[in-house]
């Protein structure tokens, strides 16, 4: 019988500062020492992973898998969140997006998009070479600045925006389809794909593409006040990846969902370490198990209070305690007729 795989950890938040050295071997050994069995690897930091080389060289990918195996972990997915953000980016965000790319691509929206598209195609090929079934990314945003429309959006602008988003992503989705890997969008405020309705619009625009799937992260739904359990009931067939991240929403007389431009620690909605927030993870693991999700449960640590090392240390056991071994017989078989 199947079981959700885990615990695993997303390494992005545990990369050392850019000026320091880093190695995939050290990060994997550290993760394994805490009890993690899998690692989700960010693909934008060449200190630990060379995405283009992985797309071209099976020998390099074999070495990467060997590094993970020797440490006692396996790769859950590759992540291209930085690059995915740049596949579709409105010029209004240009200056804030420059931090995600080399200086050669700064202040040049078309060059950034071309670079990001190539990166995603590299990610498809690399995922296949690494024998992975899913890939984690962001959709980028052409419309987010119109999310709360005042003045009113021009008629037809949403349809035009999703048509353009689909145009940018269809070649990438086809590249993932060619190698048999699911592309999983983390539905996230700031992205055009941030809830069920926006994801459905995108599916319509890409012709219900079979490789357009979801990285389920309930923290972003709690902060939007969306029913994150009902979401699983509706979209379980498209959920192919899972970030285990906690959050809390405590509105007050001064701030609510939008946060008033406050820092994270002062917002009504805050990300928290596992177990410190309000998300019902026992119900989430039950629903995902009920619907047959057999991918990885991956800790994504983000917390405005707790130290990341403590969050990582506590997270492995937290996830392990919620994994469900699926029953191999009905609970009332003992009462069956002879």
- Per-residue pLDDT tens for 297-330? 999 999 999 999 999 999 999 999 999 999 888 8
Query: CB–CB of 120/84 below 8 Å?
Result: yes
Q: Is the pLDDT assigned to residue 40 strictly greater than 70?
A: yes
In a domain, 225, yes or no: yes
In a domain, 288, yes or no: yes
Peptide bond into 304 cis (omega under 30): no
Q: Considering only 19-28, 39-48, 325-334, which range has the smallest mean pLDDT?
A: 325-334
Report the Cα–Cα distance between both ends of the chain, in Å, rounded: 26
Q: Which residues of 31-69 are buried (b: 16+ CB within 10 A; e: fewer)?
A: bbebbbbbbbbbbbbeebbbbbebbeeeebbeebeebbe
CATH number at residue 88: 3.20.20.150
Q: Is the pLDDT assigned to residue 227 strictly greater than 80?
A: yes
pLDDT for the residue numbered 337: 57
pLDDT band for position 180 (cuts 50, 70, 90): very high
Question: Is 0.85 surpassed by the pTM of this model?
Answer: yes
Report phi then psi at 227, rounded to 5: -75, 100
pLDDT band for position 183 (cuts 50, 70, 90): very high
User: How far is residue 8's CA from residue 11's CA, in Å, rounded to a whole number?
Assistant: 9
Number of domains, the chain: 1
Residue 92 has which token pair? 């209004």
In a domain, 336, yes or no: no
pLDDT band for position 1 (cuts 50, 70, 90): low
In a domain, 204, yes or no: yes
Residue 59 has which token pair? 């020998």
Report phi then psi at 242, rounded to 5: -150, 115
Residue 259 has which token pair? 């946060």
pLDDT band for position 172 (cuts 50, 70, 90): very high
Query: CB–CB of 78/134 below 8 Å?
Result: no
In a domain, 27, yes or no: yes
User: How far is residue 331's CA from residue 105's CA, in Å, rounded to a whole number?
Assistant: 59
Residue 264 has which token pair? 């994270």
Calculate the alpha carbon distances from 238 to 130, 182, 196, 205, 243 in Å: 22, 9, 11, 16, 15
**Domain, as residue range, for 38:** 5-330
In a domain, 45, yes or no: yes
* SS (HEC) of the chain: CCCCEEEEEECHHHCCCCCCCCCHHHHHHHHHHCCCCEEEEECCCCCCCCHHHHHHCHHHHHHHHHHHHHHCCEEEEEEEHHHHHHHCECHHHHHHHHHHCCHHHCCCHHHHHHHHHHHHHHHHHHHHHCCCCEEEECCCECCHHHCCCCCCCCCCHHHHHHHHHHHHHHHHHHHHHHHCCEEEEECCCCCCCCCHHHHHHHHHHCCCCCCEEEEECHHHHHCCCCCHHHHHHHHHHHEEEEEECEEEECCCCCCCCCHHHCCHHHCCEEEECCCCCCCCHHHHHHHHHHCCCCCEEEECCCCCCCCHHHHHHHHHHHHHCCCCCCCCCCCCHHHCCC
Angle at 165 between CA 259 and CA 134, to 5 degrees: 85
Bridge-partner residues for 242, per DSSP? 216
- Per-residue pLDDT tens for 69-101? 999 999 999 999 999 999 999 988 878 888 888
In a domain, 338, yes or no: no
pLDDT for the residue numbered 106: 76
pLDDT band for position 146 (cuts 50, 70, 90): very high
Report phi then psi at 9, rounded to 5: -140, 140
């Amino acid at each position: 019988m199947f079981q959700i795989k885990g615990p695993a950890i997303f390494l992005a938040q545990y990369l050392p500062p850019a000026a320091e050295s880093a190695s995939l071997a050290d990060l994997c050994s550290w993760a394994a020492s805490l009890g993690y069995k899998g690692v989700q690897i960010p693909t934008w930091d060449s200190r630990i992973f060379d995405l283009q080389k992985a797309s071209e060289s099976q020998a390099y990918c074999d070495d990467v898998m060997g590094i993970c195996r020797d440490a006692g972990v396996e790769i859950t997915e590759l992540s291209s969140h930085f690059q995915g953000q740049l596949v579709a980016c409105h010029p209004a965000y240009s200056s804030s997006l420059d931090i995600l790319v080399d200086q050669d691509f700064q202040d040049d929206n078309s060059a950034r998009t071309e670079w990001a598209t190539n990166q995603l195609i590299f990610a498809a090929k690399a995922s296949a070479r690494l024998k992975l079934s899913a890939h984690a990314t962001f959709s980028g945003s052409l419309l987010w600045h119109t999310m709360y429309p005042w003045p009113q959006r021009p008629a037809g602008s949403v349809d035009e925006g999703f048509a353009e988003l689909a145009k940018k992503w269809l070649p990438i989705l086809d590249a993932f389809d060619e190698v048999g890997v699911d592309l999983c969008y983390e539905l996230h405020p700031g992205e055009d794909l941030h809830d069920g309705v926006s994801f459905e619009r995108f599916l319509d625009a890409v012709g219900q593409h079979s490789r357009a799937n979801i990285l389920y992260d309930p923290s972003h739904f709690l902060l939007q006040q969306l029913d994150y359990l009902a979401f699983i009931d509706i979209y379980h067939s498209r959920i192919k990846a899972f970030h285990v991240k906690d959050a809390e929403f405590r509105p007050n007389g001064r701030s609510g969902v939008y946060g008033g431009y406050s820092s994270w620690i002062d917002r009504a909605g805050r990300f928290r370490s596992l177990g410190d927030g309000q998300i019902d993870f026992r119900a989430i693991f039950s629903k995902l198990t009920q619907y047959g999700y057999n991918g990885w449960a991956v800790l994504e640590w983000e917390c405005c209070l707790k130290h990341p090392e403590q969050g990582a240390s506590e997270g492995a056991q937290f996830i392990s305690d919620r994994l469900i071994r699926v029953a191999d017989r009905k609970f009332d078989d003992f009462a069956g007729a002879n």
